[in-house]
Structure 1
Amino acid sequence: MSHICAGIQLDEKSDFPSGTHLLISPKIQQALQLPLRSPITLQLGQKSTTCIIQTFSSTGSLVRIRKDLAEYLHLPDGIQLNMRYDNRLRRIVLGPVLGVLISTLIRTPEGIFGSASSFCKELVQGAKSKGILAYIFTLKDLDNDNQTAKGWRWENNKWVQKTMPYPDTIYNRLASRKDENRSEAQDWISGLKKKGVTFFNEHFLNKWQVHQALSNMKEAALYLPSTQMHKGYATVKEAVDKFPQVYLKPTNGSLGKGIYRITRSGNRFTCQYSTMSGSVRKEFSKLSDLYSSISPKISRIPYLVQQGLKLVRVNGNPLDFRSLVQKDSSGKWAVTSIVGRIGQDQSIVSNLARGGTIMPVAKALIAASPWQGPKPKTKQLKAISTTLAESLESSMQGHFAELGIDLAVDTQGKVWLLEINAKPSKNDDQVLSEQKKTRPSVKKLLEYVLHLHGSGKSSHRGPGGFMQVAARKTSKRRKR
């Protein structure tokens, strides 16, 4: 399917020859081989209509669309969009239209989307230059009857909510499992898929399901700690007898919440866990007493019992590595960024939400100790991250375009998988210095969206691009 990135200009019906709906530059007509003066389908998002096309005198990549047609499609003025033409179906497809699904507005000093405000702004702004119509929305913003959504766009240095075309691609950033598992949300997601809407990062991951899936993949099983489902005291005792340190983790947990670390030293047992106010440490002479103290909490929801690892640390603090792995412009997994994360003093987790800090991987490895084996290289951590992403995709259902993969390294230099997150934080992938340009993760995400719709690297603009073409709009409209 041939395609081109073109500027969109809305004009009055009186500016068009009788019966004509679109006026396109000869350059676009030649690039897409569009038929003139005969019915053709024009589609944006989930809406389509029949139109008649003619050319007009222009040297750029400009499309002039009748306002009445644009209003039906809810097409904004003064933007640029990819145009793809399917000769077999005689259909022009504009876009793609990308909707970023969030749970709700969170008005904080950072913006109306909370800590993700900066990311949302970069994504919507970055989409403009790539010919993607992107906006932020919630489930309550959808109007299924009219096939529209009240989407948030960044315009004139502020967020503005406007009626937008229904998306043909949705990036799921629902913030909680509770929101995602609501019957309303599940019914809506199921309905979208039936309509052919591309929906990626469609669900949170369950730690036990991930472990089971990867255990069956030879390339991934190498990096998995010994893990069992918690089935009572006997499960914990068996693990503590086998390993001097054991972790208890909720299967659906995130941000380090609800994790317990049990350490055996002689006849003493220590239980440690983190809270927002700091780390808590308790000692017991009997494992059964320790278990009794935490049993009410770990018996209410599914928990994993996992082998503790003798990991390298930085100044005594936990160190792990967050790798952001994304699908690229060719649809393949690639590492976009990777950082070392160092936990607070005495913390058992390194999450930024728990006060952790980040640093470049090479610097973190140099600062880490003790080493009793060879240090891994950044290149090795990236290769393992890609392998794990590919293995997960092969062994689990669901469409994912980005994954946050947490790795750790033991004192022998062996790399271990700690967790895979389908909704990676939009803070961890920030560069370590003040950011002035669109972050790489946003660019990679948009490139993948274009790949999904057949408008990848080969998409092109006219000389100077649309930004220059659009600037030449005048009050006097040209008539054919």
Structure 2
Amino acid sequence: MGQRLVGILLNAAAHRGIPRGRTGWESLACYEEAAAAYGLTPCYMKLSDINPVYGYCAAYIKGPRGYKKMLLPIPQVIHNRAIYAVGSTGTEQLTAYGVKVFNRQSRYGKDEIHRLLELDSGLRRHLPDTEAGTEGLEQMMKRHSDLILKPRRGSVGKGIMRLKRDDNEDWILNYLHNHRMMKANISPSRLPFALVNLMDTGTYLVQERIPLAEAAGRPFDLRVTVQRGWGGEWAVTGLFAKLASPGSFVSNIARGGEAVEAALALEQAFPSRAAAHYRMSAAALALAVARSLESSLPGLADLGLDIAVTQDGELFFIECNGRDQRYGFYKAGLPEIWKESYRRPMGYARYLLDGGAMQ
């Protein structure tokens, strides 16, 4: 065909929607514009359509009449944008056949990431106190008065709960249900069976709640996109703030949060000079996290990291997202950074195609 192909590995739902142009927030137009800038042609794939033994795959490529599914040689470089069940070895199999798959795993357990970062003495002070299991929850209720309970492998804020001790020493569990905030009283001596089950099955973790800085009374954290680009080095592509909806403790956009420019939120919370300092410090912390994780997580190249800034100006790492929801930049009114978040991975793909070493 005479084209230099780069594979974009999508989940089945997004892949299925390609002929109708319904791929959710995965912008195929952004991939195509970004790939063209590096002399590449993107082809959109799902794992079940790839046969590494024979070296061929069925993939969509855009042509004059829209997207056409074609039989193609497996691209030498593939950017994974899919999420697979725990235990899936599909991307590892491709790697074993010599395909350079970057971000080969796109979802990591929160406990796994926390454990890896705890090994880095330079980052330990930026990690919230974290425990697991019912015993861990009971210990945390003795150490802290405000806790966050979160799924080990959840995403977009689904299932996050807050457990807080009020002025009367009573514990209140807050959680979202159908975008409504619900409350329940909890006794430390008689924890509900459902909560014990979540903790003891390893489904949930418990962390101290970081007292987030607020903009107009709304808590916020920062999403920092860190990616490899041309040359293979990590760089911060951009960042934006995620504001919790009024009265909520969850900042995720998919749970009613709002994306705004980071500078706007920070300057509502702090004086201008301090706001600029915290913005740069959050970017530096995100880079340090990516560089720390790369030695343990092969193929890491495209991350969305949540960084908290406290009311006192301390910075904490909250979460690592291996499939960054880039649309936050678009919703924050930052379309050029949104497009750049597509360009940098395509630059990295070209670097790998030209013989660059994969970390």
Match of 2:176 among 274, 296, 313: 274
Aligned to 1:215: 118
Q: CA offsets, 1:70-100, max 9 Å, x none? A: xxxxx15xxxx5xxxxxxxxxxxxx3x3111
User: Which has the higher mean CA deviation after the structures are superposed, 214-223 or 100-109?
Assistant: 100-109
Cα offset for 1:379? 1.5
Match of 1:199 among 90, 101, 123: 101
Instruction: Determine if contact 1:276/1:354 at 8 Å carries over to the other structure.
Output: no
Aligned to 1:368: 269
Q: CA offsets, 1:28-76, max 9 Å, x none? A: xxxxxxxxxxxxxxxxxxxxxxxxxxxxxxxxxxxxxxxxxxxxxxx15
Higher helix share: 2
| Separation of aligned partners in 1, 2:32 and 2:267 | 38
User: Which has the higher mean CA deviation after the structures are superposed, 376-385 or 406-415?
Assistant: 376-385
| Separation of aligned partners in 1, 2:281 and 2:19 | 36
The amino acid of 2:92's aligned partner reads S
Structure 1 157/414 Cα, relative in aligned 2: closer, same or farther at 3 Å? farther
Match of 1:127 among 35, 38, 43: 35
Instruction: Determine if contact 1:260/1:272 at 8 Å carries over to the other structure.
Output: yes
Please state whether the residue corresponding to 1:199 is helix, strand or coil: strand
Please state whether the residue corresponding to 2:12 is helix, strand or coil: coil
The amino acid of 1:330's aligned partner reads G
| Separation of aligned partners in 2, 1:414 and 1:437 | 26
| Separation of aligned partners in 2, 1:130 and 1:278 | 46
Q: Which runs of 5 or more structure 1 residues have no equivalent in the other structure?
A: 1-74, 82-94, 457-480
Match of 2:149 among 248, 251, 274: 248
| Separation of aligned partners in 2, 1:207 and 1:100 | 25
Cα offset for 1:109? 11
Please state whether the residue corresponding to 1:428 is helix, strand or coil: helix
The amino acid of 1:270's aligned partner reads I
Aligned to 1:334: 235
Please report the RMSD computed on the Cα atoms of aligned residues, expressed in angstroms: 2.7
Match of 1:319 among 189, 214, 220: 220
Please state whether the residue corresponding to 1:105 is helix, strand or coil: helix
Aligned to 2:127: 224
Please state whether the residue corresponding to 1:425 is helix, strand or coil: coil
The amino acid of 2:333's aligned partner reads S
| Separation of aligned partners in 2, 1:157 and 1:342 | 42
Cα offset for 1:111? 5.4
Instruction: Determine if contact 2:101/2:299 at 8 Å carries over to the other structure.
Output: yes
User: Which has the higher mean CA deviation after the structures are superposed, 148-157 or 192-201?
Assistant: 148-157
| Separation of aligned partners in 2, 1:110 and 1:337 | 31
Instruction: Determine if contact 2:223/2:307 at 8 Å carries over to the other structure.
Output: yes
Aligned to 1:345: 246
Match of 2:87 among 161, 181, 195: 181
Q: Which runs of 5 or more structure 2 residues have no equivalent in the other structure?
A: none
The alignment status of 1:439 with 2:342, answered yes or no, reads no
Cα offset for 1:134? 1.7
Structure 1 267/293 Cα, relative in aligned 2: closer, same or farther at 3 Å? farther
Q: CA offsets, 1:196-227, max 9 Å, x none? A: 11111111211111111111112221210111
Please state whether the residue corresponding to 2:212 is helix, strand or coil: coil
| Separation of aligned partners in 2, 1:170 and 1:366 | 40
Please state whether the residue corresponding to 2:332 is helix, strand or coil: coil
User: Which has the higher mean CA deviation after the structures are superposed, 106-115 or 419-428?
Assistant: 106-115
Please state whether the residue corresponding to 2:126 is helix, strand or coil: coil
Of structures 1 and 2, the larger Rg is shown by 1
Higher relative contact order (CA 8 A, sep 6+): 2
TM-score (norm 2): 0.88
Cα offset for 1:390? 0.7
| Separation of aligned partners in 2, 1:319 and 1:157 | 44
Match of 1:114 among 4, 16, 23: 23
Please state whether the residue corresponding to 1:318 is helix, strand or coil: strand
Structure 1 108/142 Cα, relative in aligned 2: closer, same or farther at 3 Å? closer
Q: CA offsets, 1:369-415, max 9 Å, x none? A: 7x9x9554322211111111111113x23211111100111111001
Please state whether the residue corresponding to 2:42 is helix, strand or coil: strand
Please state whether the residue corresponding to 1:322 is helix, strand or coil: strand
The amino acid of 2:55's aligned partner reads Q
Please state whether the residue corresponding to 1:214 is helix, strand or coil: helix
Cα offset for 1:136? 0.5
Match of 1:136 among 28, 44, 61: 44
Cα offset for 1:112? 4.2
The amino acid of 1:410's aligned partner reads T
Instruction: Determine if contact 1:201/1:401 at 8 Å carries over to the other structure.
Output: yes
The amino acid of 2:98's aligned partner reads G
Please state whether the residue corresponding to 2:220 is helix, strand or coil: strand
Please state whether the residue corresponding to 1:330 is helix, strand or coil: coil
Aligned to 2:9: 101
Instruction: Determine if contact 1:269/1:290 at 8 Å carries over to the other structure.
Output: no
Instruction: Determine if contact 1:249/1:304 at 8 Å carries over to the other structure.
Output: yes
Structure 1 384/275 Cα, relative in aligned 2: closer, same or farther at 3 Å? same
The alignment status of 1:260 with 2:168, answered yes or no, reads no
The amino acid of 1:226's aligned partner reads D
Please state whether the residue corresponding to 2:312 is helix, strand or coil: coil
Instruction: Determine if contact 1:310/1:411 at 8 Å carries over to the other structure.
Output: yes
Instruction: Determine if contact 2:102/2:299 at 8 Å carries over to the other structure.
Output: yes
Structure 1 347/159 Cα, relative in aligned 2: closer, same or farther at 3 Å? farther
Aligned to 1:55: none
Structure 1 382/144 Cα, relative in aligned 2: closer, same or farther at 3 Å? closer
